[in-house]
A and B are shown apart, each in its own frame.
Chain A
C-alpha cells in the first residue's frame, strides 16, 4: 500500500492538526472549548482511513469511515455537550499541574514518541512510521488529561483522546478486518461515554460535585 503524493501532504497536515489539537486540549481549561476540540479531532480522524487506505478503498470501508465520522465527530461530542449542560455548577476543567506544565508534558510526550519511533526501526508499512509519533503522542495526551484533571468530565475527554490515539495507530492497517476491530472499539467507547455521562449526571445530582478528589472518600 502506498500513499499518493497529494494525499501524503494532506495526511501530514491532518496529523499536524491532531497534534495541535492535543496541545490545545492539554492547555484548555474551559469544558466548552475541550468539547469542540474533541469534535475537531473526531472529524479529522474520521477522514484518516480515506488517506491511509489510498487505492485499497472498498465500499464497506467507505461505510465504516462514514460511521466513524458521524460517531467521532458528531455523536460523542453531542453526548458530552448534553452531559456538560446538565452539570451544575458548570465546573471548569482545572488541572492539578497547571496549563503550561500540561502543555510542556504533552511536548515531552511527543518527543518521547518520536524517540520511540526512531527505535522501532523500519516498519513494513511506511505509513506506520508516519503516523506512529502522532498516534502515540495522542495516547499519552489522553492519559495526561485523565491523570491531571480534577473534574470527571475532563477525564472523559481524556478517555476519548486516548481512544483517538489508538484509532490513529490502527489507521495504517485500514483493511476491512482491522476496521471492524476499530469499529467494535468505537462502539465500546460510545457506550462507555453514555454510561459515564449518565453516571456523572447522577453523581452531580447526588453529591453536588464532580470533583474526583471527593470520590476518594468513597473508597474502603
Chain B
C-alpha cells in the first residue's frame, strides 16, 4: 500500500464531507461549491479506484474517531475497487450537472411558488456520494451500518426538492419506510456475526472458519441488501423514488446505489464462508422472480421513468440469477462459474452506464414537457434528435442489441449457463442451467419489447399532446454528459476483452473466495476472453455494416430526394396522433399472456345504442407486489396504529389509569405467576 493512495482516499472523503458543509454556508455559491467538490472527488476517486483495481493493491486506513462500538476503519480491497468506479463516475457526472439542474429547479420553484433550499440540497447530495463511498469501503460492521444509514437517509431529502404534489410526498415516505425496514435485517445480521466472531472488524469475520448460522446470515443479507438492490418483491420504493427524483439524483440512485445493495450480498457471500447448495437456488429464484416480474411491470407502465425503474429491478434480477448460477457452477466445480462471475461484474458496470444514460435522457425530456406519460409524448426524436439518439442508444444497450455493452455481458451469461449445463452431472442441475438460460432469453426478449415501446411511443410518431411539442434539447453540459455515457456504452461493447483483462485478477481472487480453484477459473477466463473477442469482432462488422448502409441511404436520399408525410399513416386518409399505438395497446398481448405476473386491469365501457356517446377504456397496471405488501403488512399495521390512537384521549385521568393497570398487571404477574 503506497502512502499516496492513502492520501488520495482521505482527500476524496474530505472533499465530499468538506464540500457538503461548505455548500451549507456558501449562500449563492452553494451549487458551485458542491459541484466542484463532487467533480474533484469523482475524478480523483475514479483514478484511484481504477488504479487499485488494476494493481490489485488493498488500501486500509483507520481514523481515530471514537465510535460507540467498533472502529472507524476503511479498507478498499478488490471487491470495493470494482464497485467504486461507477460511483465516482456518476458522482463526477452528477456533480457537473448539479448547478444546471438546480437552476432549472429554481426556475420551476419561482413559477410555482415552491421553495427550494439549494444549500441543503447540495449538502445532502454530497453526503449521498460520501455515504456510498463509505459503505463500499467500510471494513467494520458498525461503521458499515453508520455509512449505510447515511447513504439510505440522504435520498429522503433529495427525491422531492420542490415537494410538488402528493405523489412525490408518497414516494418520499415509501422510500423512507423501506429504507428503515431494510436496515433491520442488516442490524440482525451484523449483530449475530459480531457476537459470534467476538468483534466487528470484517477481517475478523473473514478469518472465522465456520459460522453457527450461515444460512440465517445469508437470508438476512439477501433480504436487507436485496431491498436496496430493488429485487422484486422488495422493490416497492424504487419505482416511486426513481420516477420522482430529479435527473442528477436519479442517476446516482439507479446507477450507483442499487449496486451498493449487490455489493452487500457479495460481501456477505465472501464473509459467510463456503456457500451452501441452496443459496444458489435461492439466488436464482430471486433473480427469476425479479427479472421476469420487473420487466413485465415495466412493460405495462405508462410513465417512462417508472419503466426505467422497473427495468432496474429486471437487471438486478439478471445479476442475481447469474450469481446463483455461478454458485451452482462452483458447487460442481465447473469453469462456468468464472464465466458467469465475469458476466455479473461486467453487467453491473454496464447497467450503471446505460441506466444513467436513459435516466438523463428521460429527465431532459421531462424538463420542458413536464410529463413522463407515454400517452402524452410522441414525436420527440424530430424535436430533440440528440436526446432521442442518446435514448435510442441506451435503449438498444439495455435491450441487448449488439454491438453495445448490454449484450456483451449477457452473452457471457448465456455462455456460462450453456457451459454449466454441459459440466452438470445430474439432470436437475442440467435443467436448472438450461432453465436459467431460457429465462434469461425470455427476459431479454421482453426487455427488447419494453424498450421498443418506450422509445417508439415516446420518441417516434407524431406528438400526442401540446406538452410533447414543448420539448427542447438540454444545455451543453447535460448533452456532454449524455454523450460521454453513450460513448462509454458503445466503447464498452467493443472493449470487452480489455475489460475482462482488467477484471481478471479480481475475478480469480473472488472465485477463490467462493472456493473455485485457480485452474478452473483460468479455464473459464479463457473461454470468456474468446467469447468477448468474437463479440468485439462481430460488433465491429455490424458497425461497419451500419455505417455502410447509412452512407448508401444518404446517397440514395441525396440522389432521389424524399417526400415528407405524416408518420404511420397506414393507409388512412387523414391520420391523427390519436390513431397511434398507445402504451396499453402495445403491451396488451404480453400483459394478457403473462397475466398472473402483470395483473393488468382493464375497464371497458359498454357501448350501447346506435349513436353512443364518448366512452373511455381504462387499463391500469398496479404494482401487485406492493399491493401484496400493503395487504399483508402495511394495512394491518396501519389498522393497529389507528386503533392505538384511540388510547390517546387527552384525558389525564385515563393516562394515569393506563399506568395503574400496568402497575397492577406487572405486580400480579411478578408475584402471582412468576
Contact = CB atoms under 8 A, between A and B. Distances in A.
Instruction: Tell whether A pairs with B.
Output: yes
Interface of A: 96, 112, 116, 119-120, 140, 143-144, 146-150, 155, 212-213, 215-219
B660 interface: yes
A96 B653 contact: yes
A217 B656 CA distance: 18
13 contacts: A96-B653, A112-B664, A116-B667, A116-B671, A143-B660, A144-B660, A147-B653, A147-B654, A147-B656, A148-B653, A150-B653, A215-B652, A219-B648
Contacts of B664: 112
Given A116-B667, A119-B672, A147-B660, A155 B650 contact: no
B610 interface: no
A50 B275 CA distance: 74
Nearest to A213: B651
Contact of A149 (B650, B653, B654, B659): B653
Contacts of A112: 664
Contacts of B656: 143, 146-147
Interface in B624-657: 648-654, 656-657
Interface residues of B, number: 16
A112 B665 CA distance: 11
Given A147-B656, A148-B653, A212-B652, 6 more contacts: A112-B664, A146-B652, A147-B660, A215-B652, A218-B650, A219-B648
Q: Which of A147, A149, A218 has the most CB of B within 10 A?
A: A147
Interface of B, secondary structure class, is helix
Given A116-B667, A116-B671, A119-B671, A216 B660 contact: no
B671 A212 contact: no
A175 to B, nearest CB: 26
A112 B650 CA distance: 29
Interface in B46-82: none
Contacts of B652: 146, 155, 212, 215
B650 to A, nearest CB: 3
A180 to B, nearest CB: 26
Contacts of A213: 651
Interface of B: 648-654, 656-657, 659-660, 663-664, 667, 671-672
B650 A216 contact: yes
Contacts of A216: 649-651
Given A116-B667, A119-B671, A120-B671, A143 B651 contact: no
Contacts of A217: 650
Nearest to B652: A212
Contacts of B654: 147
Nearest to B649: A216
A219 B650 contact: yes
Contacts of B660: 140, 143-144, 147
Contacts of A143: 656, 659-660, 663
A212 B651 contact: yes
Nearest to A139: B663
A30 to B, nearest CB: 20
A206 B545 CA distance: 89
Contacts of B653: 96, 146-150, 155, 212
A177 B650 CA distance: 39
Contacts of B663: 143
Contacts of A146: 652-653, 656
A17 B571 CA distance: 106
Contacts of B651: 212-213, 215-216
Contacts of A147: 653-654, 656-657, 660
A146 B657 CA distance: 8
Nearest to B651: A216
Most buried by A among B648, B656, B663, B664: B656
A185 to B, nearest CB: 18
A146 B652 CA distance: 8
Contacts of A120: 671
B650 A215 contact: yes
Contacts of A96: 653
Contacts of A140: 660
Contacts of B650: 215-219
Nearest to A155: B652
Contacts of B649: 216
A144 B652 CA distance: 12
A155 B671 CA distance: 29
A131 B481 CA distance: 82
Closest 3 CB pairs of A and B: A216-B650, A219-B650, A119-B671
A120 B668 CA distance: 11
Nearest to B664: A112
Contacts of A215: 650-652
Contacts of A148: 653
A136 to B, nearest CB: 9
Contacts of A219: 648, 650
B646 to A, nearest CB: 13
B668 to A, nearest CB: 8
